[in-house]
Amino acid sequence: MKTRLYRVIPVLLLLLTLGACGPGKDPGSETGAAPAEDAAVADTVDATEPEVPSFRNYTERGDLPALAEHGVLRLLAPRGETNNALPRDGLPGSAWRQLAEKFAHSRGLDPQWVYVESFSDLVPALLEGRGDVIAINFSRTDGRAEQVAFTRPLQFVQELLVTRSDTAEGGAEPMMVAVRRGSAFARTLEAENAMVASAADPVPGAGTEAAGGTQARFDITYLDEPVNHDTLLTAVVDGEYQATVLDSNLADALLPDYPQLQASDSLDSQRAIAWAVRQDNSQLERALNEFLTSEHVVARQMEQRPLRDWAEIQSSRTLRVLTRNHPASYFMWQGELMGFDYDLLKQFARENNLRLSMVVPGPDVDLAEALESGLGDMVAASMTVTDKRREQGIEFTRYYLKVTEQLIAAEPLPESEADKPVAELLAGSEVAVNPLTSFYANLRTLAAGQEQPMKVIPVKGAATEHLIDAVVQGKYAYTIADSHLVDIERTYRRDFHVVGELPGEQEIAWGVRQDQPVLLKQLNSFLNKHYRGLFFNVTYNKYFKQSKRTRTQIAERLRSTDQLSPYDSLVREHAARSDRDWRMVVAQMYQESQFDPQARSFAGARGLMQVLPRTAGQMGISDLFVPENNIQAGVTYLDWLEDRFPRDLDFDEKIYFTLAAYNAGHGHVRDARRLAEAMGKDPDRWFGHVEEAMLKLSEPEYYRKARFGYVRGREPVNYVRQIRSRYLGYLAVARNDSGE
């Protein structure tokens, strides 16, 4: 029977949209020798160039702190699997290779690939301390799980039997199948032979036999030498073997190049693909799980989508806004999303029956380029109107703020210099700015006319507050900041001084692409309607003429993810046991209770995670007003719900379905999936698909036909969106804090 090929998690898309990390050190063997194919290349290098030292491996079995001392993350792979294979579209190995290197860089470690001779050598090399992570297309099996700790599954795949198209299964003789020794495929074939043997009475003298005398289904050829998938497939085409086995995600990428071959799911074996670490490396395991969750959630949000104008935005009912994480535009305070741009656009979305999706690329991503590539529909990030940005293709709305660009120093100027023009003050001095801001070009223009030019230092990815911090600490003499951001910073700190202004006022506006005239018209209509009106003035005063409450919120805004709630240590502990990202659990906890351990709902749910006593009782947990008990019950219930959904759902989709079920019940989510399919939508995707069907289940026409009946569909839809937005807000803070 032919099988459909399973979807691959969109890791390649993630790497394209977020910018994959560069390659790690030159790969070598475990002893540090360079691969053979590199030797010929080395002869062509000019003798005057210094040689790149080859990697010399060492033994290390420690957890993350020990790896940090070495400054290296050793990534294990079988020789021939990844180090000399040509890249191919859709092949998960190359994408996961880059993802593993990106994880290493995120922890401040240099990625180093360490190659072993075969799959059977991977686990021993890990356990002996010759590598730190098995980061390839690695199947989770019960036997392996007894020896190593696996991350959350990156993907579930089907093991497919690959034969020539003219080969029929079920012949009188066992089929000759070639697989690598020690692979999960070999275990599957051995299990199939054992099952045949146990299902039939022994028949003496029946030719090739399995245990017990019964004819085996497969004649297994075990390959010990390094061999890649293309070599095996070519051998099947040439008739050297009758068959081999491939994971369905590999078959998706490889089989189109082999029209002579066919794949079937007759093995009936589905496995999880995951990465592996040593069982006592709990910190590394937790860090990998957090990283993988965040990358998959961000990947889906960062998809480059078709460029849209107003009609398409209205049809999707979602406006995607590119922004920055800072107090004038978008920030988080105690789990609440805030900001001047954010509040204005919430009102715009409300008036136009739209949902708002804030997209925060890394701080070193040019927002004009992100807009042009389709990462968002518009830019709202306290963006200064400049000719350069117009040349990049941005069309600006009418301005909604006017600001000056102010020169910041750690100390006030002496009286003798107080009236000097900025150009004179900066002559021969260093001034640090983010090169993606308008300040950079303005300062370089100013410097061009100086006899003793200033030194403009580009600091990639730096936010205004970080540059002010650097000036206060004496790292730079000066920086530049917009006056409205300076006003915000001054409300809670007094450790810097404004010592001058660049000439002229600057206009702040929102930006769209030039092919979005209708969206531009709608935004201008909104700004014209509200500018300097009651709503605008109240919102403006909230952030720029701040009340004591808003000053506190801005001063206490989230600047790092070191502490998100008073219960972080408990959440980390229980989330790690379930292979969950603790930040997602905290985002959900705030949604449920705003971190109030004594919270009660009208339905009787209690505590931080709002768990019903009967649900907790089924888990053997009581006293739900005790934070640890409640968190344990909530995370355990999440695990139970997740297991109710198909295993082959995409990594991030399973998270959203689980959250929806936590809010509305698993039965209603099942109804919504069935309805989504009937509506021609994808029952395996939440946003824009199953969530739309969930909304329909509030209408008699639909809920009367549903097995579990009526549900207030807007509640789970908003619940999932708000938790995801909060979680993405946490991630944006983490990226901003790390200075990426």
- Cite the active site residues: 592
Cα 334 from chain centre: 22
Q: How far apart are CA 509 and CA 386, in angstroms?
A: 10
Residues making up the chain, counted from first to last: 740
Q: Which two tokens stand for residue 10?
A: 């969109």
Q: Which two tokens stand for residue 585?
A: 């659990």
The pair phi, psi for residue 112, each rounded to 5°, is -135, 115
Type of residue found at 177 = V
Kind plus residue range of the DSSP H or E element containing 481: strand 478-482
Question: From the CA atom positions of the chain, what is the Rg in Å?
Answer: 29
DSSP one-letter code for 120: G
CB atoms within 10 A of CB 364: 15
Q: How far is CA 478 from CA 363, 375, 486, 520, in A?
A: 21, 33, 14, 37
Sheet (strand 139-140) strand order: 139-140, 261-273, 155-164, 243-247, 175-180, 218-223
Q: Which of 362, 299, 344, 396 is nearest to 733 (CA)?
A: 362
Is the separation of the CB atoms in 293 and 581 below 8 Å?
yes
Cα 518 from chain centre: 32
Helices (H), ranges, 679-713 = 691-696, 700-703
Cβ contacts of residue 617 below 8 Å, gap of 6+? Answer: none
Cα 681 from chain centre: 24
Type of residue found at 565 = S
268 sits in the region (left: phi over 0; alpha: psi -120 to 50; else beta) called left
The tokens 């021609």 sit on which residue? 680
Is the separation of the CB atoms in 286 and 191 below 8 Å?
no
Check the CA dihedral 419-424-429-432 and report its sign: positive
Is the separation of the CB atoms in 176 and 235 below 8 Å?
no
